[in-house]
A and B are shown apart, each in its own frame.
Chain A
Amino acid sequence: MNEFVETLLDLTWHEPKKSYDVVIIGAGGHGLATAWNLATKHGITNVAVLEANYIGSGNTGRNTTIIRANYGIPESVRFYQRSLDLYRALEGETGCSIVHSTKGLLWLAHTESGMRAERARALMNQACGAETVMITPEEALELCPQLDLSGGGRYPVLGASYHPGGATARHDRVVWAYAQGAMRQGVHVVPHTPVVGLLRDGERVVGVQTSSGPISAGVVLSAVGGRVTTVAAMADLRLPIRTHPLQALVTNAYAPGFGPIVASSELLCYVSQTGRGQMLMGAEFDSQPSYSMQSSYEFLQTVSTRMIHMLPFLRNLRILRQWAGICDISPDYSPIMGFTGVEGLLITTGWGTWGFKAIPAGGEAMAELIATGVTPKLIAAFGLSRFAADHAMADQGSAGTR
């Protein structure tokens, strides 16, 4: 979304004040959801969300919108299930349509080891409160008649884990539901105002330096996606984050009604149909870290070849657009949320290629932490201090699809 939308909405825009209780850096999903929760759930409205570019210009405006909870470790499954539930209620809570649609997610397995991994995932999910079941190839075909069960002769479908709660939502509508909701409560959302430094009082962070002057703050939250290393460095904070590009593509429209989201653990790619009928696809992130948002022809080749093994009808469609975003990848594929060891500075990062689905629960938890000063149980395992404590939260369930 862009200035066009900003002017269409009936909202009051503010120049930033000299001081706030809470300053949030980055108007992506996580920053805005935190602001919205602070204002609506905790009555904290003296809050600014400062955005370098236009609102939602980061990964929240670039992702493939998949929402799911079938992760690989109990802490993640519980967290993402909470987010999946909050997404279901978001339209009612904000009064904004986010084009939320529960479609179910089919995760195909093409080898015996793939089947073992999916079985383990299904059992783990059930035990932790997310619904995931193993199904046969025939059942998969019933859910998605376009599947080629022989996998083009090379990737036969041996079975699949099925996650009925898998869903999608319009990403820019999610951004604006939170932005609008927060602004109506008095939060200042300020576009085109990059944070270029952090104000310090000794070690403590006491505000931000922006393109339009200093702003003091009781607490600063960094919610800047792939640019987190730069912002953390302003407080001499070192992070285990690598910034990798992730690409996606859409085709022209296919007959509406393509059922579930389809992913494959071995082919490492996934597809869903958008509200306009376009087929929206993604794969794994670029292997080398980079801040360049260039997309590549190689990505188109790889994704197309793999997808056609699963869904041969795709060969008749045309690619309309491709794009990239830069993702904050953590070493254990789990988020990093909460205190940083630097007083006055909090972070929400490590959202990598999987953080859109996490926006409602991430925002809820970070707002609670800011309001109460206590880390909520749901995110206790995801603190930055886990690396020093040798408690990395390796989650294979993050990868493969987003």
Chain B
Amino acid sequence: MLWITCPTCGERPVSEFRFGGELPHVPDSIIDADAHNLDWVWMQNNVDGITTERWFHVAGCRRWLTLRRDTSTDRVV
């Protein structure tokens, strides 16, 4: 199981957190404004590897944190 270190509360199980999504990262190749917005709103990098994402400590301090995680192993890096 995934354990997340909260800056306020320390190491806590994933069940205390709500996943807030990866940080949207629109590729530089998308320059058209509408395409950029579409990508920002809907598209996911969904990488099989290291990703940067937001989590909310819903059953703890109720603050947001930023996490780097390897999705191929589900470990925090």
Could you list which residues of chain A lie within 8 angstroms of chain B, going by C-beta atoms?
227, 229-230, 236, 238-243, 287-292, 294, 296-298, 331, 387-388
Contacts and interface: CB of A to CB of B under 8 A. Distances in A.
Contact of B46 (A236, A241, A297): A241
20 contacts: A229-B46, A229-B47, A236-B29, A238-B43, A240-B42, A240-B43, A240-B44, A241-B44, A242-B44, A242-B46, A243-B48, A287-B17, A288-B14, A288-B74, A289-B51, A289-B71, A290-B74, A294-B74, A331-B42, A388-B38
Nearest to A289: B71
A387 B38 contact: yes
B24 to A, nearest CB: 11
B15 interface: yes
Instruction: Specify the main secondary structure of chain A where it touches its partner.
Output: loop
Could you say which of B45, B47, B74 has the most chain A C-beta atoms within 10 Å of its C-beta? B74
Contacts, number: 61
Contact of A239 (B18, B44, B48): B44
B44 A297 contact: no
A288 B2 contact: yes
B1 interface: yes
Contacts of B18: 287
B76 to A, nearest CB: 11
Given A296-B1, A298-B13, A291 B44 contact: no
A141 to B, nearest CB: 33
Given A230-B48, A298-B1, A298-B13, A291 B43 contact: no
A298 B15 contact: yes
Contacts of A236: 29
A277 B44 CA distance: 41
Interface in B5-40: 13-15, 17-19, 22, 27, 29, 34, 38-39
A292 B49 CA distance: 10
Nearest to B17: A287
Contacts of A289: 19, 22, 46, 51, 71
Nearest to B4: A288
A297 B1 contact: yes
A79 to B, nearest CB: 22
A236 B51 CA distance: 19
A292 B74 contact: yes
The 6 lowest CB-CB distance pairs between A and B, nearest first, are A238-B43, A229-B46, A240-B42, A292-B74, A290-B74, A291-B48
Most chain A CB within a 10 A radius of its CB, from B14, B22, B48, B72: B48
B57 to A, nearest CB: 13
A287 B38 contact: no
A299 to B, nearest CB: 9
Nearest to A302: B15
Contacts of A288: 2, 14, 19, 53, 69, 74
Given A240-B44, A331-B42, A387-B38, A287 B19 contact: yes
Contacts of B45: 229
Given A240-B42, A240-B43, A292 B14 contact: no
Contacts of B69: 288
B44 A290 contact: no
A239 B71 CA distance: 17
Contacts of A230: 48
Given A287-B14, A287-B18, A297-B1, A292 B71 contact: yes
A239 B43 contact: yes
Nearest to B42: A240
A240 B22 CA distance: 12
Interface in B48-74: 48, 51, 53, 69, 71-74
A239 B15 CA distance: 27
A241 B47 CA distance: 11
A41 B19 CA distance: 44
Nearest to B35: A388
B52 to A, nearest CB: 12
Contact of A291 (B27, B39, B72): B72
Nearest to B39: A238
Nearest to B37: A388
A236 B39 CA distance: 13
